[in-house]
Structure 1
Amino acid sequence: MVRSHHSHSSSIHDVTYSCGYCGYALNLCSSARNTAGIGSTKYGKQIKKGVVAFLAVDETRFTRADEVTCAPHFRSARSWGLFRRRSRLLCRKCGGRIGAVYEEEKEEDDSAVLSEYGGSDDDDLPTSSGSSGGASRRRNFVIRISALQPSSDDSAAVPFSL
């Protein structure tokens, strides 16, 4: 068995994505995916729902539309909230809906958040309403698979480095 060169193999595994509607480069890389829950049944529900979680995105490529809804909702089996905040991520070029961003407390399990999101309407995002109480918060990005297309430019597959 012949092994490929290390520098070449990283470009094979990392995929960059563009907007599925207009082809605008989103600078979204598969290496930034949130893979903490892969292998669990909760992750399978997430994929069936048609979304993938990312830890980071290039926010200059998106327009954010912040929304707050007022309706009771369950955040977990033991917690519920009244206000649900969400920020939709829209393609900066065509305005197509790519996904959403939400914040979570650091102590919360990633797979629990993915399950909670995957089990609800894809417009509803699990968020904590109210003050953080000193707990650190992390932003998660949930991207619709149907709103992405792999970038056709070969140079985009090579990670940027200085």
Structure 2
Amino acid sequence: MASIYSCKECGTNLNLNTSHLYPATVYFPAGNKGTLSFAMIDSTKFRLEKEDKIRPFFETLDYWGIQRKRTKIKCNNCGALLGYIYDDGPPAVDTPGQFHFGPSQVIPRCPRYRLKTKALRISTET
């Protein structure tokens, strides 16, 4: 059974594929609470807006920053905010990392499309 994900505001089908969904147990520094994370999305169904804020924020319990650069994911039909794009997915290149310590900040990572569950209407296809 496949799930159909649509915008809660306007009901537009967002054409999200369940096979691109990360399992809930996968750890991401930006967290998973109240969200669904996808490896890829259909860019024709979304409007992407760059966001650049300069103010303190907490990325994890042990790390904070001053400048947050992220991209908002909005519904292309009604403009409702659905989530954000984070660059904390799996490594984009197959390498052992800096000094062979594994993936780190210097290794480019794949984007992760993190959509809020409260902004989505999820139904099952029968």
Q: TM-score, normalised by structure 2?
A: 0.71
Q: Number of matched residues?
A: 112
- Per-residue CA shift, 1:75-114, capped at 9, x if unaligned? 445543221012111100111111111112746xxxxxxx
Letter in 1 for 2:25: G
SS of 1:72 mapped into structure 2? strand
> How do residues 85-124 of structure 1 correspond to structure 2 at under 5 angstroms?
85-104=69-88, 106=90
Unaligned runs of 5+ in 1: 1-11, 108-131, 158-162
CA distance in 2, matches of 1:145, 1:79: 26
Considering only aligned residues, what root-mean-square deviation do their CA atoms show, in Å?
A: 3.0
Q: Measure the CA separation in 2 of the matches of 1:145 and 1:53.
A: 10
The residue matched to 1:60 in structure 2 has which SS?
Answer: helix
2:19 is paired with a residue of what secondary structure? helix
- Residues 89, 151 of structure 1: CA spacing in aligned structure 2 closer, same or farther, 3 A cutoff? same
> Identical aligned pairs, as a percentage?
29
What does residue 119 of structure 2 align with? Answer: 147
CA distance in 2, matches of 1:36, 1:146: 16
C-alpha distance in structure 1 between counterparts of 2:34 and 2:60, whole Å: 21
Report the AA paired with residue 50 of structure 2.
D
Question: What is the TM-score with the length of structure 1 in the denominator?
Answer: 0.57
1:77–1:25 CA distance, 2 compared to 1 (3 A): closer
Match of 1:138 in 2: 110
> Deviations 1:54-76 (Å, cap 9, x if unpaired)?
11111111001111111233444
Q: Pick from 3, 7, 22 the counterpart of residue 10 of structure 2.
A: 22
- Retained in 2: the 8 A contact 1:66–1:85? yes
Q: Which deviates the most, 64-73 or 97-106? A: 97-106
What residue in structure 2 maps to residue 8 of structure 1? Answer: none
Match of 1:83 in 2: 67
Task: Give 2:25's match in structure 1, choosing from 37, 46, 58.
Answer: 37
Q: Which amino acid aligns with 2:119?
A: A
- What is the rounded CA distance, in whole Å, between the counterparts of 2:86 and 2:77 in structure 1? 22
Residue 52 (structure 1) aligned with residue 52 (structure 2): no
Deviation at 1:151, TM superposition (A): 5.5
